[in-house]
Amino acid sequence: MNKYLLPPVFIFLKFVFVQSLSFPWPVFEPVLCLALIYTFFHSLDLKGWLLYALYCGLSRDVFSLDVFGFYIFSCVLSCFVVSILTRIVYRQNWVFVFPVVFIGIFLAGHFVIFFKTFFVSETIWISQYWLALARVIFESAGTALLAFPIYIFSKRCAPELIG
């Protein structure tokens, strides 16, 4: 399976899952998880992970109702942090994928909160920040749990995605 076909397919699967169960909070973010896993294993290839992060952010922005560009920028920034972080950890050990995905989703959620606060005048007060922090932690944990099936699926179906 082509790595550029996975983000639209996962966006559709997330839409079907969320619409069928109707959760009030986002449970996982598979497109950003794909970009972070790709960046984890290809952190030395700057052009490769940057183009894939731009594509994943663009596909997330196209199918989103938020202001266009927030998810592109947050995806690229979080993948940049992950690429710096993976130069420290041992990339061949798949156990490090889960904390790196958690950190990446956590940062991307905070980037989106920051962008919405300063560019859309959607002010988040201190009392609301704790609720937003709980949502981001919940989404980060759900996506970290989702990282293992995506990693196994990517390894079996798209060897160019992993190595």
Give, for all 163 residues of the chain, the pLDDT tens digit.
578 888 888 888 888 887 788 777 778 888 888 888 888 888 788 888 999 999 999 998 998 887 888 889 989 999 999 898 888 887 677 778 888 888 888 988 888 887 777 777 666 666 677 788 888 888 888 888 888 887 777 666 555 555 5
Q: What is the pTM of this model?
A: 0.83
Taken in order of first residue, the domains within the chain and their CATH numbers are 6-162 (1.10.1760)
Give the chain's end-to-end CA distance (angstroms, integer). 14
Rounded Cα gap, residues 154 and 6, in angstroms: 9
